[in-house]
Structure 1
């Protein structure tokens, strides 16, 4: 049974009603429910009596070290076989991480751990890594976004990647790792024991220099399937380095996010070469880069080639005008694989939108979703879009 009360503000009466029932649930989600430190004492007693709990999620900034500590210690003494633990945004700090090593050693069934949005800092992350290294669990997902980590934490985090061959997802977004942190992580990512599939490094202060190391990872690790470096100032040189790795036959990456990376049309020939030769890549997120019509035309030329496999293309806020829509309209008729296209917040008008509509009306167009947020057109174009949706029920237009 599941107790899923996310975003429901609980009253004292409702809490008292739920407490006796909690040992019966295998899933408990109490995110943003007004949980207090005092209630954590009640919850800890319920958890100690639970034999079936598999998932616990308690996002609540008011818990702090004291409340989160009560919950963690109760799990240490609980007979349950918990697999998923999320204490995201619980007010946990480095000082509160002192309990983590002992707790983690007592959770052999743990598969997913989310401590994102807590000010753990490098000291707290060091304690976490210490516990994970000694823990008997076969951890698969570790989320540590917005935790105040710096490059000083990366060697310890790398030790987890190298030691836990079960680890498949590592989320480190919004931490000031910098190029030095990427360099410290790289040996672990390249380790033969690493089986990482998903790596999130958005807004981590990575530059083109850090892309040299990531290029090595893309070339060497066939296991890696998803990479996000969104919100990093990579520039065209960084994009070129990433594309060198993506062009390697051994690279099996399926999803790449380079949103808001300071890219221009100069990066598009490199991505175009990837799209022509790489048969694994299925999703490319390039929004919020100044690619312009020239850059988009180069991408479309490559995607129009036989054998391309990209299914999802994000080009929101890329300075695409009506002129660029001509290339996109032609692409819609020539690409057998493209299923989703996002063109939100681009300076196009009726001429561009109507070119897209004309292609979308054709039976050979396989697109299933077109996103057009924050684009302004007249009533005439609006009527054409509405008629298109009615004539093609499998096509979803979001605007």
Structure 2
């Protein structure tokens, strides 16, 4: 006969279960905590990198090493070596770099004809889609007279030897504009703080009113960082931002007040379609100027053309948004001080991003 197995089945006590389960749970909790912390740190690092990238990496306020500034006007001096001065057979002229289609060549035709007559040289109008191409052309000597938006002027001065000369002004010689944050007229965004959790549209990276001034204000005055506090994007043009807000494609955008006035005056948008929730202190507008290494004779001829040119009755009058305007001489050292302050604030913010 076979023997029967009289052994009792082993019991699983609560204590034994806990002995196994508690360490396992602790390990699982530890692993989950580790990954939660790692994810949080990764997200924070991404936010930091995004803000640093948006704030840029270069100092826009520092004159490049190849330039000198003996007279302290913060502009590149013309070369002392006459061999380095430009006296081109043909002057190359452009207006703002833009991806927008438009007949700017025709708008500036009366001015370029006056410039040609004064200098005794043919003037060729060219168009740039990107500011970087425009800056490169100045440095390489293939562009001689051009215009930059307010925010790009310090970079053009310090990196490409650009000399700001004149801008559009009213008939009393006054010139300035402001940065406005606009939203659709029926938006629930009533004040700057309401931008948290929304999507904010900048114009382009070098713009003062459409980018730097707004970014610096949101950081310094409201502790609002892109990614962390609001989504963001670029429209690549003040006109694009204005139209996008008016059409309710954009929730909010930073734009230049003079461009906004011009778009309204031209009937491109209705004033009733947008609402302003913030307006900055005044800034100098975009400016027309020349590269610093032109011959003294050419520089003087350009200045004389500007001083004598009358806008009334020419296509350039459209830039007045229905009001009379003229070309007024500017002072980079004085007029662009607020813009250089914005650049300095942006650089300091870049260092302080934690």
Same fold (TM over 0.5): no
* Higher alpha-carbon Rg: 2
TM-score calculated relative to the size of structure 1: 0.19
